[in-house]
Structure 1
């Protein structure tokens, strides 16, 4: 385990044990529910192969440059996200107010953690449901065969109306996340990533192979990748830009924080490319994992959480070994959700450790308790608190409960603003010598990356921000 010094140049600081550990942790932070359900549905409904090609271009031209910018800030600062930005700003003779870039990310990460763990609780519910089904009926038959289609369809709405059960599951998921974060970088976060991410990929590939032999695999390929450039309209292209941005978990200071644990011997450009490639691969494979099963059952392939928690449980009912595959699927989703929640909790934890000089276990526990309490309120926003709209006085958030308000504030405002300011800071404010020493690029590639960070990324992120605030600007 490498030991570096923190922002004060004295305090010993943990780091990743290897480049591969950092890659697995960063991929775990990036891979989440958006990769598994949102991207495949977006691709299928918006031009198939044309959308996929445009999305990959967005990853390369927008997502990857910002990802590299965030990791190089963290590696240079060797501190929490806020302190890392402040250190680079000081060395660039710029205002310390630039630390607010990461401050937005810290707030955003905490808010996302609160409602993300509620979703993690839903995953735990379905893991328990399929495990109980195996105990009752075995593994060879279809899933949930003792239930009618209407009863399966009612499972998710009924869960959302049960605030107490969702709250308990939310607290359990937060506690599991805390267990890893409290143990530190090498003793907890890295171990979770090194074990869970390979297991995630094994399950993803295994279920994909299962779908290839038992589902409508050829139909899924045609559904996902048929090239239809006519559907690639302006709004669809902007949606692809947003998907590329959110898919890499940019704007929440997570990559700055994880980058601060990276050793000086790691080439950040190559490593960031590996992370982006792995994240994109998961999104593409997820479509080949899910849609053969859904299409074979003749069910709707609309994206979103309904695809995961409503459509897929129904699809598993009529498939051989459906109970076992269903359990494996939700365990896989649980791994992805957990590695993401770990990174989200680490961001405010690392900031608070640097800010208040408290021990990691105590700091992480305080963050976890606060997130769990906000998560409980979010859980009840589907039922008992459904009439409570905390930001109802703002037209953009009118009618949104706590859960959806947390989602909207972070995705429409905080994340795009944070990433926009990162690109401006690295492109225009930070001293070139500092950036050149960290990014691992040279020659034409360096000049091209700098052009993207200075011009294309700010323009694209500004577009995401404007459309998030004024959705009526886009035609239906």
Structure 2
């Protein structure tokens, strides 16, 4: 069966960016920036995005394009004699399923909040009342499962239409809409009375953060955000490499995706920080920033219901673009391994993802007694821990070693694939950095992640 292809280069860049642009950009990025002092953190983050994220993304694209397969078959297709690499593919496949076990529930929160905004549920409600609405929604098993099912059905519904007619077409619409909504919200936020303080916090480096947290912690937080924001290490990016031709060099495509990813992350801050400062809200309010703090801010704003609706459409599109991209990867596993048709793979996986997503959706209510890391933790925390601290760094390390080691594909072969076509060449002088220094950085991130998680 001939492999499907994207109809355009724009489609490939937008869907790859859609996979990378997720809730890590628009949910995690602003509150981590808020915690670590604004602009100084952003500058360090941008540096690590280039030296950490871009090389590994290029490697994922290269492995996908050279093999014309998803992660489960890519390594053994490129190096059939080095059979142990195929187990890395299975590990990465497991990472995709684990990510969707909780991401579908969080995506459901975004869509449900859009409808709450549309319905005026937050109008005239105090900040404590907004917090109560969020907590009550978590404790309602029916609603948690309902919105998770909506997300699963939407995601697989798009994928069932095929690569060009479903995934590519819908992602173009979602991503184009997302950028338009971002511009509208940024203009609204930066023109709020008192919003300039938020801009100063966000855009002018604040060196007192170093005194508070220590330079190493700020650097590690920026390094971790740069690393995790691109969804690297589980083959979710590699699959789109397998759908493109060899007209363009891959490093230029990577830079386009990284640029879009960064623009969305930075614009999220331009939306959130001026609004926080304009209404006297602490920008360090953590993960609750989106679900508790912002609805309270929209309450105070002129036409707040409209801005709130637009914001949660933006959040929903950011979540759904990632979900559709990862579902496409999951569907391709069955197609590559057992030669299933697309429709058969969709049908089997829609049931599988629904069942696998239930523990997270029920983890805040029916299964709230399951506290994997002690009181106040939930099943979602365990699933997130596996993805964030294990699958992403170890999977990225595997791509790195495969593309630089003579026991894998090797740097010269990777370079030939990455540099085929026209555009920006992948710099060959980075060989020793990629072979010896970057693996050490990723191992450091892996160990530091465990240290931060369990020791703090």
TM-score by length of 2: 0.93
Distance 1:276 1:175 in 2: 29
The alpha carbon displacement at 1:147 in A equals 2.8
The correspondence of residues 71-110 of structure 1 with structure 2, limited to 5 A, is 71-90=61-80, 93=81, 95-110=82-97
Q: In the alignment, what sits opposite 1:33?
A: 23
SS of match in other structure, 1:12: coil
Q: 2:404 aligns with which of 395, 419, 427?
A: 427
Unaligned segments of structure 2, at least 5 residues: none
Q: In the alignment, what sits opposite 1:3?
A: none
Q: In the alignment, what sits opposite 1:351?
A: 333
The alpha carbon displacement at 1:366 in A equals 1.6
Residues matched between the structures, number = 447
Distance 1:84 1:273 in 2: 23
Q: In the alignment, what sits opposite 1:461?
A: 442
Q: In the alignment, what sits opposite 2:48?
A: 58
Aligned-residue Cα RMSD (Å) equals 2.0
Q: In the alignment, what sits opposite 1:438?
A: 417
Distance 1:211 1:312 in 2: 12
Deviations 1:190-236 (A, max 9, x none): 01111110100110111000112225331112111222345341122
Contact 2:249-2:424 within 8 A present in 1 as well: no
The alpha carbon displacement at 1:41 in A equals 2.5
The correspondence of residues 364-375 of structure 1 with structure 2, limited to 5 A, is 364-375=346-357
* Correspondence 1:212 to 2:190: yes
The alpha carbon displacement at 1:421 in A equals 1.1
Contact 2:190-2:199 within 8 A present in 1 as well: no
The correspondence of residues 349-428 of structure 1 with structure 2, limited to 5 A, is 349-389=331-371, 392=372, 397=373, 400-428=377-405
SS of match in other structure, 2:205: coil
Contact 1:216-1:295 within 8 A present in 2 as well: yes
Distance 2:307 2:76 in 1: 48
Q: In the alignment, what sits opposite 2:220?
A: 238
Deviations 1:292-328 (A, max 9, x none): 1122121222254311111000000010010000000
Q: In the alignment, what sits opposite 2:130?
A: 152
Distance 1:215 1:452 in 2: 47
Q: In the alignment, what sits opposite 2:431?
A: 450
Q: In the alignment, what sits opposite 1:470?
A: 451
TM-score by length of 1: 0.89
SS of match in other structure, 1:13: coil
The alpha carbon displacement at 1:150 in A equals 2.8
Contact 1:416-1:464 within 8 A present in 2 as well: yes
Q: 1:308 aligns with which of 283, 290, 294?
A: 290
The correspondence of residues 246-257 of structure 1 with structure 2, limited to 5 A, is 246-257=228-239
- Given the superposition, is the C-alpha separation of residues 401 and 38 from structure 1 closer, same or farther in structure 2, using an over 3 Å criterion? closer
The correspondence of residues 112-131 of structure 1 with structure 2, limited to 5 A, is 112-131=99-118
